[in-house]
Amino acid sequence: MRALIRMALLASLSVGMSAPARALTASVEANGFAFSFGAAATNAGFTLFFTTYDGSSGSPLEDCSGDFCTVSQEVAPATIGSATYRSDYFAQDNSGTFEYGSGFMTLVASDGDADGILDPLERTRPGNFSFSGSTTPDFNAFGIYVTSSVSGSVQRSANSLVGTYSGSFSNTTQSASFAGAYSLSGASGTVEYQLGGGFLDWHLVQRGLDGTLRTFTGTSPFSRDGIDSIATPSFALYDSASSLALFVNGATLQRSGNIFRGTVTLADGGVDTSWADYTTYRVEITDPNDTDADGLPDLVSVPEPDVVSSSLLALFLLSLIFRGGRPTRQWSWRPLRWRPAIG
């Protein structure tokens, strides 16, 4: 009897045990609010180079070693979500830099899917748009300080990071056309997690200014605010091949269906330069997993704890009462006998 009860007890326990946790995968798109204008050749015989807007009237940001200088090529929004973009520029001919200054442009684009970023800046969507604006010199070697009007357009195919841009500018002294290479900033990849767990394993691929693809990986804790959002503290991602790191600031991603979206900032997203650039991204995690079929993505699903059944409790009590097939103590009851008091 004792052996039989123990076998039943073990069987009940094995039914109640949870299966080992398995890794679940969700996709990640990190679309940068800034984009890149590569060197623009003009039909006037000089070249335009673009770099991060710094708000000063001095020489724009560049990293130089000997006769070779690197610029960020960054064109960034004046404020996050704005269609007004700005950049600093150098104009160079065979003799070197003869002008530098700053430029502003307005993008003719919209956020048709209301996901918090202009549609052409999303890698998976067509990237065509037009722009118009102006440039103002802070220095001109010939003493010609005139504002130029600028207009042009960008062409990029959906699911491609790169495209082209072209346009023209004019002022009171000259006009010229220009053209160059255009590219998005951002990264894409996956996160892995365990059902009910509290960590995300990130695997993201980023394209550098020179076209090099870098794979950044890392692990971050995350928390759930009910079923409506997830939050991550600051964490780091590393590319082992280049020994470069991306430092990600804490962020909250709001849920819409099975998609989590939010604006995420980096300490420095453009690791090719010595200053902070390409720092702000619209991150989107799409989680197709719904293990318990409750209509919620598993990122915000927390499994219910196992409940001990009444039959298991009964078996446990029986194992305490019986020893070797006979009771260790017998219990009985009998009615209370009493007699009335004699008065």
The Cα 213–Cα 14 span in angstroms is 48
- Provide the β-strand partners of residue 203: 190, 217
With the C-alpha atoms ordered 236, 241, 243, 245, is the resulting torsion angle positive or negative? negative
Q: What pLDDT is stored for residue 6 in this prediction?
A: 52
Per-domain residue ranges for the chain?
23-300
- Provide the β-strand partners of residue 254: 229, 261
Q: How many residues does the chain have?
A: 343
Tokens of 134: 């102006």
Tokens of 338: 């009493």
The CB density around residue 20, as the number of other CB atoms within 10 Å, is 6
Q: What pLDDT is stored for residue 328 in this prediction?
A: 47
Q: Which residues contact 291 (CB under 8 A, 6 or more apart)?
A: 24, 195, 298, 301
- Measured CA to CA in angstroms, residue 309 lies from 17, 178, 210, 258, 306 at distances of 12, 76, 62, 34, 9
The Cα 235–Cα 157 span in angstroms is 33
Q: What pLDDT is stored for residue 306 in this prediction?
A: 52
Name the phi and psi angles at 250, rounded to 5.
Answer: -60, 145
The Cα 294–Cα 32 span in angstroms is 33
Q: What pLDDT is stored for residue 336 in this prediction?
A: 43
Question: What's the alpha-carbon Rg for the chain, to the nearest Å?
Answer: 33
Q: What pLDDT is stored for residue 209 in this prediction?
A: 73
Name the phi and psi angles at 227, rounded to 5.
Answer: -110, 5
Say if residues 53 and 37 touch (Cβ distance below 8 Å): no
* Nearest to 16, CA basis, from 318, 315, 312, 320: 312
Q: What pLDDT is stored for residue 82 in this prediction?
A: 93
Q: What pLDDT is stored for residue 3 in this prediction?
A: 53
Which residue stretches of the chain have pLDDT < 50? 4-5, 8-9, 11-19, 308-310, 325, 327-343
Q: What pLDDT is stored for residue 15 in this prediction?
A: 46
The Cα 134–Cα 215 span in angstroms is 37
The Cα 206–Cα 269 span in angstroms is 10
- The DSSP string of 63-130 is EEETTEEE---EEEESSTT-SEEEEEEEEEETTEEEEEEEEEEEEE---TT-SSS-GGGSTTS---EE
